[in-house]
Amino acid sequence: MPINNAYLNGIYEDLAVKSAHEPEFLQAVYEVLESLVPVVERRPDLVKAGVIKRIVEPERIIQFRVSWLDDKGEVQVNRGYRVQFNSAIGPYKGGLRFHPSVTLSVIKFLGFEQIFKNSLTGLPMGGGKGGSDFDPKGKSDAEVMRFCQSFMTELSKHIGPDTDVPAGDIGVGGREIGYLFGQYKRLRNEFTGVLTGKGLSYGGSLARTEATGYGTCYFAGEMLGSRGESFQGKRVVISGSGNVAIYANQKATQLGGKVIAMSDSNGYIVDENGIDYTVIQEIKEVRRDRIKTYLNYVPTAKYVEGCRGIWSVPCDIALPCATQNELNGEEAGWLISNGVMAVAEGANMPCTPEAVTAFQNAGVLFGPAKAVNAGGVATSGLEMSQNSQRLSWTFEEVDQKLHQIMKNIYASAAAAAEEYGMPGNLVAGANIAGFLKVADAMMWQGIAY
């Protein structure tokens, strides 16, 4: 469908030709441009300065070969990427994803969304993202280490604590960050905060591991609060069982909810007594096993093969925390007919455009990824501050700052939605609020790039 503004639609059409083979990137851009219709109507200065035409084009893309030796001594080759999308408000910042589905389109969509997400945190971070089509699943620790060392050998030429600061994402957790950090330090002979999500013994921040999941629930709590509701006594379904999902479970449970279903890419579990996050931690973080082994711990639970059926489990609150486009229009229909009250995106772009429209039309509270999952990168920003000061804050201090940041993000998205004539539309509100700060910085800095 054309965007309801000729100028914005022209920018989109132009990009759709140039990036015809980048569907995820186009999907992410379309949503933002659609939100900016009332902004361009009020801000001819931004149009004149070409801010929107510039913001959809990455400042720099780095693509590189990553060759490494597997345990059998055979040569393996993967593709590495870093998209340095926008540095108007700070050094590029954003995670690295290691998953076989990674393409340039996926990294560009993630980098583009990161610009606005990072802006919403209120911290000085630009937008970037990177990764590889390497699959850590089934690899030995030694293979993961050799891959990370080879990946960082090239990446180290392009990043730095004041230039570009990567972190984790799908397939990149504490183990991978450790190997990446070790190799950067070896190559540059510098102990700096060049990565976030580091281990606590070498410059990591307390609460960074928990931050995305906790932040997701803090944001969902604000949404529910706007209707006089809370997590108390609610049935919660969380897709995924990785970093974001595990700590969303912990916080949702602490806030009085009951998490009855979780998944991985093979299937989902249902436990009407509530899923204990420490069991998932043991399965996924310690054993690196499949979620169906939950039945070995809780034999009364149920396992269903195939991950998408999770959205047919009746719940009050749905938190998609796995990956992009994991919840489509039909699945949104199941949630709506089962009476879902709130949906908050812990993953990046997990709901298809059809699903988002369905939730909004049904009056379901809907929190978009850029706002909902910004607690992870916000706490990365706090890790950077601690590294610069060469000191560390307590868990409570970091958690309290995270909670306040999530409240601020909710308030600014809600206020922008109101101001631009779409009250309650947090998708438009988050896009507009995130965009305006970056646009202002780009206006001040001139048009040389």
In the complex, which residues of this chain contact ligand NDP (CB under 6 A)?
99, 101, 168-171, 173, 212, 240-245, 264-266, 307, 321-323, 326, 346-348, 373, 376
Kindly tell me which residue out of 24, 169, 264, 326 binds ligand 2IT, with binding defined by CB under 6 A: 169
Q: Which residue is at the shortest CB distance from ligand 2IT?
A: 95
Q: At what angle do helices 353-361 and 23-35 cross, to 10 degrees?
A: 30
Q: Is 86 in the site for ligand 2IT (CB under 6 A)?
A: no
State the nearest-atom distance from the C-beta of 337 to ligand NDP, in Å: 23
State the nearest-atom distance from the C-beta of 37 to ligand NDP, in Å: 27
Q: Is 234 in the site for ligand 2IT (CB under 6 A)?
A: no
Whole-number Cα distances in Å, 277 to 193, 335, 391: 30, 23, 30
Contact 361, 338 (CB under 8 A): no
- Told to judge if 129 belongs to the known catalytic residues of this protein, a careful annotator would answer yes
Q: Which of 108, 117, 129, 139 is the catalytic position?
A: 129
Query: Sheet containing 164-167: which strands, arranged edge to edge?
Result: 60-69, 75-86, 126-132, 92-98, 164-167
- Site string (101-130) toward ligand 2IT, x via CB under 6 A: ----------------x-------------
**221, interface contact from ligand NDP, ligand 2IT, none, CB < 5-8 Å by kind:** none
| Residue among 274, 275, 353, 266 nearest 309 (CA) | 266
Q: Are strands 92-98 and 126-132 parallel, antiparallel or unpaired?
A: parallel
Neighbours of 158 (CB within 10 A): 17
Kindly tell me which residue out of 5, 86, 156, 380 binds ligand 2IT, with binding defined by CB under 6 A: 380
**230, interface contact from ligand NDP, ligand 2IT, none, CB < 5-8 Å by kind:** none
Q: Residue 401 class from Cβ within 10 Å (0-12 exposed, 13-18 middle, 19+ buried)?
A: middle
Neighbours of 336 (CB within 10 A): 17
Q: Is 244 in the site for ligand 2IT (CB under 6 A)?
A: no
- What is the CA angle 45-93-248, rounded to 5? 110
State the nearest-atom distance from the C-beta of 338 to ligand 2IT, in Å: 29
Residues 335 and 350: their CA atoms lie apart, in Å, by 14
Q: What is the contact surface with ligand 2IT in residues (CB under 6 A)?
A: 93-95, 117, 167, 169, 196, 348, 376-377, 380
Catalytic positions, please? 129
